[in-house]
Chains A and B, each alone.
Chain A
Amino acid sequence: MGMTSLLEIRGLHVGFKIFDGLLKVLAGVELAIGEGERVGLVGETGCGKTTTVKSVLRVLPIPPARLDGGEILYRAQDILKMKPREVRHLRRTELTAIFQDPLQALNPVFTVGTQLRDIVLDSLAAAGQRLTRKEITARCVQALAETGMPDPERIMSNYPIQLSGGMRQRVCIAEALIKSAKLLLADEPTTNLDVTIQDQILRKLDELVEEKGMSVLMITHSLGVVMDLTERVYIMYAGTIVEEGRTEELFARPLHPYTQGLMKSVPKLTGEGISKGIAGRIPNYLEPPSGCRFHPRCEHAMPICEEERPPLFSTGVNRRVACFLYQRS
C-alpha cells in the first residue's frame, strides 16, 4: 500500500446466531483503505460484503449478530471498541455511507428537506459550528444540486414517494456527502436502478468524491463498476478475502481460481454465448467447508486446501492471494 491506512480491517470474524445454530459469515476479513484511495470490494450476493460494511458502521444488530474477533481500525482506533458517543461522533464527522436500495433508505414519512436538515444540524453540532436556519437550508439545496438533482428547492419539500428511484438515490448521495466525511462506504449504490441511470449516478458520485478528496469503499458485484471507479480491489468469497491487487492488474491477470471463474462468467459481446459460470454455489454458513472455503468448487483443489486455511500470500507489490497454488516452497 505504501501510504498510511485510513481504515484497516484485521481478521474480522462475524457470526449470526439463528435457531439452527451459528452462521459463521465473516471468517477473517482483511482489508485496508488508504487516505484518498478508492477501493472496490467484489463478491457475489451473500458473500458478506454488506455484513462487512455494517460492521464498520457499527450498525449490525447484536444479537443476532455476534463479533467473534478481529479489529476495525479507523486512524488506528478500533471502532469495535468505541463507546456509542464516540461512534456517533465518528459518523458525524468522518464516516458516511450510501445503501443499496434507495427505495428503502429514505424515511417515507418525512420530507427530503427535514431529513437533510437534521443531518446538517447534528453534524454541525459535532463540529462545534452553528448556522442559521436559512444557511442550513441553503446548504441542503446546494448538496442536492451537486448531485445533479433538477429543481432542488422543490425537492426539499417532497416526500420520497414523490421521487423516482434515480432521484431518491441522488437524495441519498446528498445525505451521505453533506456532512463532509472522509470515508464513504457505498454498498451497491446503483444495483436497484435502471441501467441508464446507474451510469449517470455513478459518474456523478465519482466526480463528487474526487472533488472532495474522499476515500471510498465501493461494494458491488459488478466488475464493470469496479473497473471504472476504483484503483484497488478486493475479491471476497464466502466471508473471506481471496485476492487483492491494483484493479487493472488484477483484472488483467486474476490469480485465485475463484476470481478467474468470476471473470469468465461475465458475458461478452463478442460471441461464445453465455459462459457456464462457476460450478456449485456459495457454501452454507452453518457448516462452512474446512480449510479454504472455496475448495469444494475449485478445479485445482489439493489435499491441503481441505485441511488448512490459506493465508494471503504476497505475489508482488500490492498483490496478495489466498491460495496454496501461490505458496512459495
Chain B
Amino acid sequence: MAKYIALRLGQSIFVLFGLSLLIFFIARVVPGDPARVALGNLATEEQVQKLRAEMHLDRPFAVQYYYWLKSMLRGDLGKSLYTQRPVTTDLRQYIPATLELILFATLISLVFGQVTGVLAGYFRNSWFDNLSRLASYLGVATPSFVVAILLLFIFSQLLKLAPSVGRLPLMVKAPPTVTGFMIIDSLLAGRPDLTLLALKHLVLPAFSLAVIHIAQEGRITRSSLIENVQKDYIIAHEVHGIRPTKLVFKYLLKPSIIPTVTVMGLDFAFLMSNAFLVELVFFWPGFARYAVNAMLSKDLNAIVAVVLVIGVTFALVNLVVDTIITFLDPAIRIQRRGG
C-alpha cells in the first residue's frame, strides 16, 4: 500500500513537471516580450535589454526554464499587475477562502448525495426514487449562481435565517490569520462565537455549489447500487441473515461507492475554478474570483499562478482519490503487490 502511494506520488510529480513546461510555454512563448510588458511602453530599449539579461531572457529556452522553475519552487511567482502585490501573497489570502468553501460544499454533497443515492437505489422506483430523480434533473439543470440567488432570496431576504454575503459580518473583526480558514482561525483565537458566524456565512454559498454535485453523485451511487443489488453476493448476504442496515451501508455501499469517489474528486478540483459565479454572488473573497479577474485584466503572473494552483489541485486530488480507491478495492491493491 505504502509502496503504491509512493509510486503514485512519483507519477504526480511527473505530471506536475509536464504542467510546469506547459505553463512556462504559456508564460514565456505566447504573449511576446515579458520584459517589455513589465516595463511598459515608455521604457527605453536599453532598459529593456538590461531587464532581459536580468530575467535570463537572452539565454536559450532550456536555461530560461531552469531559472523560471527555480524561482517558482522558491515560491516567487512574481508580482500581480492587478493587485500590485506578490502573487504568492494573493494566493495565501484567496486559496484558503475557496478551499474552506469547496471543502464544505464537498462535505454537503457527500452527505446529501450519498444518502439520497443509497435510499433511491435501495427503494428503486418508489416515490422517493422518483422524487429524487426529478430533484436531480432540476439540480443538474439549474446553474449554481441561480441556486445561489434563490437561496439568498429565500433564506436571507424572506426568512432572515442566514446572513447574506461575505465570510463574516462587516462590523465583526476577523480573527488573526493563521491558516486562512475562518473556522479554524476563529477557534485558534478562542472565539467559538466567530466560528458559528463563519459557519452561518458558509452554509448558503457552499450549498449553492453542492446542489449540482448532490444531484450527479447521488445518481451515480444509485445506479451503481442497483447494479450491485442484483449480484449473487448481496443475495448471499441476505440469505445468511445479515441485518438490512449492515447489508446496505456496509456490504452494498462499499463496492458501489467506488465510481462515485472518482467523480467526487474531479468535482472537487473543478470547483476550485468553477466557484466563480457563486463567489461573485456572495462577495466571497476567493480564489475563483481572483482567477477570473486575473484573466480579465491579462495579469500574466497571476494567470500562471492560477493555472499552477489548479494543476496542483488536480494532481493532489487524483492522488487522494487513487489512494481511497486502493483502500476500497482490494483487487487494485493485490494486483499492485503482484499476487
Contacts and interface: CB of A to CB of B under 8 A. Distances in A.
B254 A96 contact: no
Interface string B225-248: 000001111111111111100100
Given A108-B233, A109-B255, 11 more contacts: A61-B230, A91-B238, A92-B240, A96-B240, A97-B236, A107-B233, A107-B237, A109-B254, A110-B254, A119-B242, A162-B334
Contacts of B243: 88, 122
Contacts of A101: 232
Contacts of A96: 239-240
> What size tier do the contact residues of chain B reach?
20 to 34
B328 interface: yes
A96 B236 CA distance: 9
A104 B239 contact: no
19 contacts: A59-B235, A89-B241, A96-B240, A100-B232, A104-B231, A104-B233, A105-B236, A106-B236, A107-B234, A107-B251, A110-B254, A118-B246, A122-B242, A122-B246, A123-B241, A126-B241, A161-B334, A172-B236, A175-B240
Given A88-B241, A92-B241, A175-B240, A99 B331 contact: no
Contact of A109 (B232, B237, B242, B328): B328
Contacts of B236: 97, 99, 105-106, 172, 175
Contacts of A88: 241, 243
Contacts of A59: 235, 238-239
A159 interface: yes
A201 interface: no
B330 A161 contact: yes
Among the interface residues B240, B250, B254, B330, which one has the most CB atoms of the partner chain A within 10 A? B240
A110 B240 contact: no
Given A104-B231, A104-B232, A109 B239 contact: no
A109 B241 contact: no
B330 A109 contact: yes
A175 B233 CA distance: 12
A26 interface: no
A144 interface: no
Contacts of B328: 109
Chief secondary structure at chain B's binding surface: helix
A293 interface: no
B109 to A, nearest CB: 23
B329 interface: yes
A108 B337 CA distance: 17
A88 B245 CA distance: 13
A166 B241 CA distance: 24
B239 to A, nearest CB: 5
A61 B246 CA distance: 19
A139 to B, nearest CB: 14
Contacts of B233: 104-108
A54 to B, nearest CB: 8
A96 B334 CA distance: 31
A14 interface: no
A192 to B, nearest CB: 11
A107 B241 contact: no
A101 B233 CA distance: 10
Q: In the A-B complex, list the 6 residue pairs whose CB atoms are closest, starting with the nearest.
A: A92-B241, A104-B232, A159-B330, A91-B241, A107-B233, A119-B240
A110 B251 contact: yes
A92 B242 CA distance: 8
Contact of A118 (B232, B235, B242): B242
Contacts of B230: 61
Nearest to A61: B230
Contacts of B334: 159, 161-162
Nearest to B246: A118
Nearest to A84: B244
A106 B235 CA distance: 10
A99 B239 CA distance: 10
A95 B329 CA distance: 31
A161 B330 CA distance: 8
Interface string B309-337: 00000000000000000001111001000
B232 to A, nearest CB: 4
A199 B1 CA distance: 38
Nearest to B228: A107
A113 B237 CA distance: 14
Among the interface residues A109, A122, A162, which one has the most CB atoms of the partner chain B within 10 A? A109
A110 B246 CA distance: 13
Nearest to B233: A107
A99 B246 contact: no
